[in-house]
Structure 1
Amino acid sequence: MTSCSPQLTFDELGTPLRDVTFCVVDLETTGGSHRTDAITEVGAVAVRGGSRISELGTLVDPGVRVPADITRLTGITNAMLHDAPPLGAVLPSVLDMLRGSVLVAHNAPFDTGFLKAACERLDRPWPGPPVLCTARLARAVLPHAECPSVKLGTLARHFGCATTPDHRALTDARATVEVLHHLLERIGNLGVQSPAARP
């Protein structure tokens, strides 16, 4: 299990949800370990009050070959990454988006683990944003009988999202934004209007 910032918690204290900037991040990688694998694609969408503020989507040269099974899953080939920027050129933009934001990801320990490892390797300070995992939030908010699986694709279908996840970073980040908004609507219906975040 990857160490990361604690899961965001909600209560009646703190910044109103409409005023919170959420930076929704999705990464594609060469494998599942932030210690031995590398990032191949970054997608990030910043939203506040239900409106999109900015987006970032780019392939990343991982410096290693992409395994065949990962190419089958994501469609990202070694040829596609030939002229992609290295992570060192992409990471500053990602960190700029995260500062002052709540980092949101589906299976957040995975994405946060890779980003923190990248900061360590590239000697960049980790901004330490509060973290919200939409998979964990969905499990807490949705009854199992209503939605037995909290996979991103399942949640997107359940909520009738316009974006279909496809294991590409920006598409999946956009789908996660839609899922997040549906989950926050559920929380609002429960009377929760603000997050209490721990850095």
Structure 2
Amino acid sequence: MSTLLQETTFVVVDLETTGASPKKGAAITEIGAVKVQGGQIIGEFKTFVNPLAPIPLYITEMTGITDLMLAKAPIIDEVFPTFLEFAGSHNQTVLVAHNAPFDLAFLKSAAKDLNYAWPTYKTLDTVTVARQVLTKEDVPDCKLGTLAQFFGTKTEPNHRALDDAKATVEVLHGLFERLGSLEITTLEGLLDFAKTAAHIQRKNYWGLSSI
């Protein structure tokens, strides 16, 4: 049976980190997530995470997050199970992120480090969808800030986890309107579209705009 998009529960997540990759020792400093269904927000999750290491200056300059702000924050061991509880069952939830491979890499790395089995969530990358439904005439690139401006989001992205997650929710809903004109109204249709879009974009890698 097909699941209508308006009946699907999406958890839109955004992370702030100390660097670009957990493989290079970077760690999560902030998690923000918004749970939505039928265009309505039904839950929010926000927490700082103490990375147990100094934050590079360029990260502080970009996010405004300082070592002092994280000094008394919980460590990932405490935060991760709470986040999974918020996200819910992989049978009922679709995880969404802007540039999802980045966020998923950190979440899956945390799961591995903490000996958690990562739930087999269906996932959606708003970058992938945007690159397929918007043209260069619409937007010069698919950065979150650019898409937020294009769709006129109420929340302005600012490199803070919850605000960026909220902006991504609005971008997601804007993309859904575009997909409706393509008669994509079900979760299965959306995931098939995103999978095909990702394949097309990989084949044309050098033609992609930066995020």
Fold shared by both chains (TM-score > 0.5):
yes
Number of positions where the alignment pairs a residue of Structure 1 with one of Structure 2: 186
Superposed CA deviations along residues 122-172 of structure 1, whole A, max 9, x for unmatched, are 111101101100011100111122112100000000111100000000000
Unaligned runs of 5+ in 1: 1-12
Q: Give the Å deviation of 1:189.
A: 2.0
2:55 corresponding residue in structure 1: 66
1:86 correspondence with 2:75 = yes
SS at match of 2:10: strand
1:95 correspondence with 2:84 = yes
Q: 2:124 aligns with which of 113, 132, 135?
A: 132
Tell me how far apart the structure 2 counterparts of residues 98 and 157 of structure 1 sit (CA, whole Å). Answer: 31
Structure 1 148/98 Cα, relative in aligned 2: closer, same or farther at 3 Å? farther
1:15 correspondence with 2:3 = yes
Superposed CA deviations along residues 168-196 of structure 1, whole A, max 9, x for unmatched, are 00000000000000001111122111022
1:122 corresponding residue in structure 2: 114
Q: Give the Å deviation of 1:94.
A: 1.6
Q: Give the Å deviation of 1:93.
A: 2.0
Tell me how far apart the structure 2 counterparts of residues 94 and 102 of structure 1 sit (CA, whole Å). Answer: 14
SS at match of 1:80: helix
2:165 corresponding residue in structure 1: 173
Q: 2:149 aligns with which of 157, 164, 172?
A: 157
- Kept in 2: contact 1:57–1:170 (CA 8 A): yes
Tell me how far apart the structure 2 counterparts of residues 183 and 146 of structure 1 sit (CA, whole Å). Answer: 12
Q: Give the Å deviation of 1:98.
A: 4.4
Superposed CA RMSD in Å reads 1.2
Tell me how far apart the structure 1 counterparts of residues 168 and 30 of structure 2 sit (CA, whole Å). Answer: 16
4+ residue runs over 4 A deviation: none
SS at match of 2:155: coil
2:96 corresponding residue in structure 1: 104
- Kept in 2: contact 1:98–1:127 (CA 8 A): no
Superposed CA deviations along residues 78-126 of structure 1, whole A, max 9, x for unmatched, are 0000010111111112212142211100000000000000000011110
Tell me how far apart the structure 2 counterparts of residues 64 and 164 of structure 1 sit (CA, whole Å). Answer: 29
1:9 corresponding residue in structure 2: none
Superposed CA deviations along residues 52-96 of structure 1, whole A, max 9, x for unmatched, are 111001110011110001000000000000010111111112212
Which has the higher mean CA deviation after the structures are superposed, 79-88 or 97-106?
97-106
Tell me how far apart the structure 2 counterparts of residues 118 and 57 of structure 1 sit (CA, whole Å). Answer: 17
TM-score, normalised with respect to structure 2: 0.85
Counterpart amino acid of 2:133? V
Structure number with higher helix proportion: 2
